[in-house]
């Protein structure tokens, strides 16, 4: 397994992402962008990149904050994300730069690309799809679904999979219904999985340590959502 930090620049920021690839395997393979949770590029996203590499992909865990460092003060999260919620242009620029990095790797089959993400990282994956990036699939795990720049009919090339805890107070029924309406009207091939009794951050084993009832790891939902993602990859690749 080869892993490395890669510096790149976008939107006026120095960004440092994390690449993972099985270098014992020859030839090109599909590339997967991994977008981190609101806390920054931590082991959670890096572990996902390594798991994807073990499964036969090349994965690049992007950095959408800067310098590849997670936030130590969680009160900084919403002020940073708020500007991209109001105008996704900046996050789309940063994600596009990460996609360029991944597509340029010698092991990457640039005709077979996808993006996944967690929390706002899932929102980022969906913004990539809305922007018409050349990805075949976008998967959001406990991701925000709202956008200030809705999908345009005929622009989205990817198949979308949203995986949400049915008890997640951050992604409630109204937001889910708006996403359904947006994607249906835009003619997108989309699907949504709801996990009963599950709240936000269900893929992150470290969520319980935060002591917030709306954040909790759920082993079953974590495993089921990962398998659903791999099933979609098998379909599109």
Residue with token string 């999260």:
77
Domains of the chain (ranges; CATH) run 2-236 (3.40.50.1820)
pLDDT of residue 161: 98
Residue 97 — φ and ψ, nearest 5°? -65, -40
Judge whether 68 and 5 are in contact, CB under 8 Å. Answer: yes
**C-alpha angle with apex 123: 42 to 212, nearest 5 degrees?**
60
Between CA 214 and CA 236 the distance in angstroms is 33
Query: Which tokens sit at 109?
Result: 């089959």
Between CA 1 and CA 22 the distance in angstroms is 4
Residue 193 — φ and ψ, nearest 5°? -110, 130
Judge whether 74 and 88 are in contact, CB under 8 Å. Answer: no
pLDDT of residue 75: 86
Residue 205 — φ and ψ, nearest 5°? -60, -20
The pTM for the full model equals 0.98
pLDDT along the chain (237 residues), means of 10: 98 98 95 97 98 98 96 87 97 98 98 98 98 98 98 98 98 98 98 98 94 95 98 98
Between CA 176 and CA 40 the distance in angstroms is 25
User: Of 124, 104, 2, which Cα lies nearest the Cα of 63?
Assistant: 124
Residue with token string 């798991």:
51
Give the dihedral sign, CA 183/164/62/49.
Answer: negative
Between CA 211 and CA 188 the distance in angstroms is 37
User: Of 44, 67, 60, which Cα lies nearest the Cα of 2?
Assistant: 60
- 3-class SS of residue 201: coil
């Amino acid at each position: 397994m080869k892993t490395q930090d890669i510096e790149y620049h976008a939107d006026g920021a120095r960004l440092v992402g994390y690449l993972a690839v099985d270098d014992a395997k020859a030839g090109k393979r599909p590339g997967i962008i991994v977008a981190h949770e609101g806390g920054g590029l931590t082991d959670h996203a890096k572990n996902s990149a390594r798991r994807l590499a073990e499964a036969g992909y090349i994965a690049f865990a992007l950095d959408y904050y800067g310098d590849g460092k997670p936030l130590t003060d969680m009160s900084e999260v919403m002020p940073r994300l708020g500007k991209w919620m109001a105008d996704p242009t900046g996050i789309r620029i940063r994600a596009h730069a990460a996609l360029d990095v991944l597509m340029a790797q010698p092991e990457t089959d640039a005709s077979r690309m996808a993006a996944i993400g967690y929390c706002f990282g899932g929102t980022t994956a969906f913004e990539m799809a809305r922007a018409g990036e050349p990805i075949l699939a976008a998967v959001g795990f406990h991701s925000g679904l709202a956008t200030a720049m809705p999908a345009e009919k005929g622009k989205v090339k990817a198949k979308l999979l949203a995986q949400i805890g049915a008890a997640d107070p951050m992604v409630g029924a109204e937001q889910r219904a708006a996403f359904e309406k947006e994607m249906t009207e835009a003619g997108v091939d989309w699907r949504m999985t709801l996990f009963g009794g599950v709240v936000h951050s269900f893929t992150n084993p470290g969520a319980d340590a935060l002591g917030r009832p709306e954040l909790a790891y759920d082993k079953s939902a974590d495993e089921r959502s990962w398998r659903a993602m791999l099933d979609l990859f098998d379909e599109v690749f």
